[in-house]
Copies of this chain bind each other. A is one copy, B any other.
Amino acid sequence: MTTTRTAADLRAVTAAELEAIARGAALLGTGGGGDPYVGRLLAEHALGPGGSVPVVPLHELPDDAVVAAVGIIGAPTIGVEKIQGANETIDAIAALNSALPRPVTHLVCTEIGGSNSMVPIVAAARTGLPLVDADGMGRALPELQMLTPGLHGHAATPLGLSDEKGNRLVLHATDNLWAERLARSAAVTMGCSACYAMYPLSGAEARAAYIPGTLSWAYRLGLLMAEARRRHEDVAAVLADELGGAVLFRGKVVDVDRRTEGGFVVGTGRLDGVDGWAGSGFTLRFQNEHLVAERDDEVLVTTPDLVCVLDADVAAPVTTEALRYGMRVS
């Protein structure tokens, strides 16, 4: 608990911070948002040796900043095979800029959970734009209209979308639900994943609409997990204590029903209990993220609470596309 209280807020991201951010982001991804592992490698490559990306606290954003949220839309199952490049992020920002009176000056995470924590770092390193220490969800999100700037009444469009082949589009939607539908279907056609730059906001609007400090929060959670593992502590219990939650179950994965559908990975995972939970069953229901957790057919937790699954052997978060038969998890 001390770790997250004492570590200072990030003022820059270098290669040294990436592993902790990725680990914390994977936890906050609650199984969704894709494994940040590949994103971390891309960010390392984009930063280069000695490279760094400046991080601006949300409250320090100037009023006249132009802030865009960047990330990947698609099914995380696809990200396992179709690895994102670095040019898509530049193309998506260029597509958005073509529809704006003034170009984007700052980048922000849509969702701190999962690989979308890494995409803005790659984009910032490639474009030289500073990154805001904030995100629009505080976890991973299933659909773009659910972001906090959307809840604050801001339009997700104009939205720039791009793929690794060089296709680009600029979308103007009548509302954010239509933006989600059109961006999702274009992403499916682009190969089930695409890069976006969206929600162009002024600095003043962004300060009110985003969740402050979540990049630093993911970093501190990542440090905490690494520290607990180094000390051979029970990482799940340490996290439950830190996040004010509880260890709901420990068990072995006995069945995974998973399919890619409409640009999402959806399905169910079933566990048989071990330790104190021997004899009990547990069910995880997911759409990209773990949405519902049931023990012995009783619903214990639903989103927006965080349903986090840790691999018991390596104490690392498990994404919904990586969940597999025989895995021991907490």
Contacts and interface: CB of A to CB of B under 8 A. Distances in A.
A172 interface: yes
Nearest to A95: B172
Nearest to A159: B169
A109 to B, nearest CB: 24
A165 B178 contact: yes
A172 to B, nearest CB: 4
A180 to B, nearest CB: 10
A181 B167 CA distance: 11
Interface residues of A, number: 22
A186 B178 CA distance: 11
Given A98-B99, A189-B181, A165 B169 contact: no
Interface of A: 95, 98-99, 165-174, 178, 181-182, 184-186, 188-190
B167 A169 contact: no
27 contacts: A98-B98, A98-B99, A98-B170, A99-B170, A165-B174, A165-B178, A166-B174, A167-B171, A167-B172, A167-B173, A167-B178, A167-B182, A168-B171, A168-B172, A169-B169, A169-B171, A169-B172, A169-B182, A170-B170, A181-B189, A182-B186, A182-B190, A184-B189, A185-B185, A185-B186, A185-B189, A186-B186
